[in-house]
Amino acid sequence: MSSSTSYRRRLRLKGTPCPGEAAALTRLVYISAVAIARGQGHFRSELADIMAACERYNPRAGITGVLVYDRGRFIQMLEGPKAAIDEVYARICNDTRHTEVTLLLNEPASERRFDDWAMAFANAGDAPLPVRASSGWRELEREALLARLREIHDHHAVMNLRSVTRASP
């Protein structure tokens, strides 16, 4: 299997409707300042803990999405059942690894944009994107925000969850 193949997985989420079956999905995007100390592998360890928790919890809760790290900020899109999304967002707002949590988007969704990941991770600095792609998140209109998240995801800056959790400090 090629390394690019390992980036794409289809998840069968608990409670996920079969094709053609209607489901009430919510899409939520927030930005926060990262409050994790840098140095001596601490940031990587905390990030691995976040991603491992996503891998354990999100498939059971029917949540998919992407987490982007961009110059000291997290930008995350969560998709799934409204109650599950509300619960996760409340935990994030109380998580000491985040400060200045700001809601950018919270809306019903007719389909998932990141249905192949319990939680994809992308470092915006690793994506071969124009400088504008990693700045000004708060000022973006809805469509531009969603397009930027998709662009970062599609440029293979996404890391496999297992490679993050096994990375050396």
Lowest mean pLDDT among 60-64, 90-94, 157-161: 157-161
Tokens of 110: 């007719």
* 30 in any annotated domain: yes
User: Is residue 56 in some structural domain?
Assistant: yes
Q: How do residues 66-95 score in pLDDT, each as one tens digit?
A: 898 888 899 999 999 999 999 999 999 999
Pairing label, strands 73-80, 25-34: antiparallel
Report pTM. Answer: 0.75
**Residue 151 confidence class, pLDDT cut points 50, 70, 90:** confident
Tokens of 105: 């988007």
Please count the CA atoms within 13 angstroms of the CA of 95 that sit on its side-chain side.
21
**Residue 163: pLDDT above 60?**
no
Is 12 inside a domain boundary? no
123 in any annotated domain: yes
What pLDDT score does 135 carry? 59
- Give per-residue pLDDT as tens, 122-143: 887 765 555 555 457 888 888 8
How far, in whole angstroms, is CA 105 from its chain's centroid? 14
Is residue 52 one of the residues assigned to a domain? yes
Confidence class for position 100, pLDDT limits 50, 70, 90: very high
- Residue 41 lies inside a defined structural domain of this protein: yes
pLDDT average, residue stretch 33-55: 86
Q: For residue 44, what is the domain's CATH number?
A: 3.30.70.100
pLDDT at position 6 over 60: no
4 belongs to a structural domain: no
Number of independent structural domains in the chain: 1
* Phi, psi dihedral angles at 30 (to 5 degrees): -135, 165
- The residue behind tokens 């409670």 is 15
Q: Residue 30 is encoded by which pair of tokens?
A: 């927030």
CB atoms within 10 A of CB 116: 14
Q: Whole domain around residue 104: which residue ranges? A: 22-165
Q: How far apart are CA 147 and CA 101, in angstroms?
A: 21
Predicted local distance difference test score (pLDDT) of residue 37:
82
State which of 18-27, 99-108, 110-119 shows the largest mean pLDDT. Answer: 99-108
Residue 99 lies in a domain: yes
